[in-house]
Structure 1
């Protein structure tokens, strides 16, 4: 019973992250605020989730994974309720930051599955858990689009509140606490240092386009991120009980899957970013289909269904051939999907097929990454290690968002008085993402073959 409940929690997390996207163009009018202020409803969730992911993962290893999982789900529920109750942009941004705690749901759930399930069931359960990220994103966008189109915008947050409350109740009722602990003292200074350099890094990446990549603000924030990261790393290597075990993280069997997570996060996210924009572009562009927002969201739905269907297939490949092979196949599939998009991005059915192939590769890759980590770290460190892996996926997505925006901004045409990205700009974005996927494939093949689980010393 715990596997579907945890998977439901993962889907909720992804739905929560994507539901606000169709609402963004309307929020300045609805909240009487600026476009820049509204953009923080996405940025706040990203920053909070990135910081809390490894912190809550470490806390789960120390104090109990179920306990911390329930905390993350509670914060997500509270944030959803607050969003439903207010139209004040300041409270909405704070509420979205609370929702960011849900980013820790997937790594904590994967750690619980490793601790509680027999080895023969772990791989398939982890594959399903990993797929929930894509499934929830594919479901969340059309669901939110329908609500925005036909109901009051607060309804979307009431729906997410109700679903979050159900997920929290089911998790409290059915999920068993893991007996595994890593006793010690929580590294408060490490958590603060991590928060500072992550916020500086992601703030510069997410706001660079608006502030100007060469502006003093961006340069200062980037420089701050580098400086604090260096100091934080020095402190972590010398701390008796660090927040993140950097010595373990630097071993090839851990470092390479982490690097692959960064690359795969970048590679797959371009499909989500570009597809909805491309099909909604006006027909006057010569390539756009002029689809309404609901139909654009539905274009991503087949990919989400595929991720659900393919989770047992990816688990089977990992069992027979090893997760590094599954990761390499997934990265290759992502690149193949972008080749399809480059060859033809005019016909809707080709766009959907190309996106589905990218989703296939994402399902394979995302199922393999946590399995590689679970095979490479001691059981009592799985929460923090998988949290770092998911964090690197998030950083990859953030960098992809900034890179795609930069490409599209520099390749626009004036259509009916509005700057619209050109097809060439979209094709360059596909080439960039496909190339990153091929690098991820090379990294996957470089991961050592030894897949035996690491035992605690």
Structure 2
């Protein structure tokens, strides 16, 4: 269990440590500001493409084997990035690091394969809690690492840690059974990869290209077309990469909708709040905090998110997951509303983000358990991978919208005005209200189990009827 938790958090750290150090990385490799933005985009795109594919391979080959491979690729990517002196080499390293996105869904699948059924929710919740805290910890430690060791150690430390973790998983985590037969559907994998790239590229670069530009709109249209073709092939496939019937189950699609909205608020918040804290005092509203101090202010958030995430599993035994999610969404709404109105002191921002962290801790842990329990065992890796992907896409949408709001409030100076940040916080509060609405759609308690059972039977019944219609 400890090995799986650390494996999951290693990806979260790699994901978030780079953000505060982006300017230092730009100077290190001699890149432009536009060029260095691809350090984040390359990682996001790679993770989105590889996570569901590697999750499915885990179902077909064995989740422990694929997890060991993922950790080794993550370590190798970290070495490449640490040695990089040019932007292209750094981007290669970040693409390889993106494979680490599969560590979390693979860990969920291993827990389901090896643990007693009554312990799965609490163990999955614990892994989700640790991994979500990794995002906050990454922001926290980036500044001290750069100051004490240099920017390249943002990658050397993950390289060493993930190499050790790969060995630890190999030695101490039992082999997992193969839960799914058939070959990897390569055409579906290529189309899914194309769909995600075509969708995420304009989301990450649309602000720079212009949301109404031919390039942005053309990529969105191409993403829709590729997505329709991918879904068609999956529905006709004898061995689908992602079984679309599973995603029609009510617990699954509602959990994915809620995950999208959680990602919308979580990733956007962690992306721009550090920038807000570091805004110069000369703007009239900025706090002028350093990278290190702004990271330290996230320490209470990390602690709260971790503790509430751990508590989600035991609480799910006494209350329905739906009740937990609904209650957990309320602190997110309250926290962002407070941030929109009161943000004049660093300690106050830390307190308000800690309130938000209560909801994130409960929500991310509980949603992970919903998906893992809802799907048949042979689809655990792929379904958990897609759920993580949906959250990533939500994060990209939220970040893009917040960036657009801040850009619209940026005049001749280099920084947005205070009203821009207040509007961004209000936007995230609206997103949190949408989270609440989505959580209300999730089946509750025994009803969820009944629906899951009935829908599994429906899936099994229609398989034999559709075999002869499959052509891919």
Query: Which TM-score band applies after superposition, normalised by the shorter structure?
Result: over 0.9
Determine the structure 2 residue equivalent to 1:287: 285
Bigger mean CA deviation after superposition, 160-169 or 362-371: 160-169
Native 8 Å contact 1:268 1:334 kept in 2: no
| Alpha-carbon distance between aligned partners in 1 of 2:310 and 2:204, rounded to the nearest angstrom | 35
Using the TM superposition, name which of 275-284 and 254-263 deviates more: 275-284
1:273-352 correspondence runs (5 A): 273-352=271-350
Q: Which residue is 2:157 aligned to?
A: 159
One of 442, 445, 452 as aligned partner of 1:447: 442
Q: Which residue of 1 aligns with 2:465?
A: none
What is the match of residue 182 of structure 1?
180
Once the two structures are superposed, the pairs formed by residues 369-448 of structure 1 within 5 Å of their partners are 369-414=367-412, 418-448=413-443
- Aligned to 2:245, the other structure's residue is in SS state helix
Q: Could you tell me how far apart the structure 2 residues matched to 1:32 and 1:139 are?
A: 27
Give SS of 2:289's match.
Answer: coil
The answer on whether the counterparts of 1:264 and 1:331 sit within 8 Å (CA) in structure 2 is: no
1:259 is aligned to: 257
CA distance in 2, matches of 1:451, 1:275: 37
Once the two structures are superposed, what CA deviation does each residue of 1:320-348 show, in whole Å capped at 9, x if it has no partner? 11212222222222111112212311122
Q: CA deviation at 1:281?
A: 1.0
How far apart are the structure 2 equivalents of 1:98 and 1:275? 28
State the partner residue of 1:106: 104
- Distance in 2 of aligned mates of 1:13 and 1:310: 21
- The question of whether the paired residues in 2 share the 8 Å contact of 1:254 and 1:373 is answered with yes
Conservation of the 8 A alpha-carbon contact between 2:307 and 2:361 = no
What is residue 130 of structure 2 aligned with on the other side? 132
Aligned to 2:58: 60
**Residue 413 of structure 1, CA deviation:** 4.5
Quote the offset at 1:282 in angstroms.
1.3
Look up the match of 2:84.
Answer: 86
Q: State how far apart, in whole Å, the 2-side matches of 1:59 and 1:355 are.
A: 37
Give the 3-state SS of the residue equivalent to 2:414 in structure 1.
Answer: strand
Measured in 2, the distance between the counterparts of 1:332 and 1:87 equals 46
* C-alpha displacement of 1:402: 0.6
CA contact (8 A) 2:61 2:178 kept: no
Q: Distance between the aligned counterparts of 1:44 and 1:400, measured in 2?
A: 18
- Secondary structure of the 1:240 match is coil
Q: In structure 2, what is the Cα distance between the partners aligned to 1:361 and 1:150?
A: 34
CA distance in 2, matches of 1:301, 1:166: 26
- C-alpha distance in 1, partners of 2:5/2:57? 21
User: 2:358: which partner in 1?
Assistant: 360
Structure 1 runs of 4+ aligned residues shifted over 3 Å read 453-457
CA distance in 1, matches of 2:275, 2:191: 37
Residue 4 of structure 1 and its aligned partner are, at CA, apart by 1.1
Where does structure 1 lack aligned partners over 5 or more consecutive residues?
Answer: none
Tell me the matched-pair count. Answer: 452
Shift of 1:112: 0.6
Aligned counterpart in structure 2 of residue 200 of structure 1, from 186, 194, 198: 198
State the secondary structure of the residue aligned to 2:150.
coil
Q: How does 1:64-75 map to 2 (within 5 A)?
A: 64-75=62-73
- In structure 1, the residue matched to 2:216 is 218
Moved more, 255-264 or 30-39: 30-39
Quick check: 1:58–1:384 contact (8 Å CA) kept in 2?
yes
Using the alignment, how far apart are the partners of 1:160 and 1:61 within structure 2?
26
Name the CA distance, whole Å, in 1 between partners of 2:432 and 2:211.
25
Which of these residues, 241, 244, 258, is aligned with residue 243 of structure 1? 241
Contact 1:115 1:180 (8 Å CA) reproduced = no
Q: 3-state SS of the aligned residue for 1:21?
A: coil
Q: CA deviation at 1:180?
A: 4.1
TM-score, with structure 1 as normaliser: 0.96
Contact 2:279 2:288 (8 Å CA) reproduced? yes
> SS at 2:415's partner residue?
strand
Quote the offset at 1:133 in angstroms.
2.7
* Separation (CA, whole Å) in 1 of partners of 2:92 and 2:188: 24
Instruction: Quote the offset at 1:97 in angstroms.
Output: 0.4
Q: Does 1:117 align with 2:115?
A: yes
Instruction: After superposition, give the CA deviation of every residue in 1:193-221 in whole Å (9 maximum; x if it has no partner).
Output: 00001000000100101111111111221
d(CA) in 1 for partners of 2:35 and 2:83?
A: 19
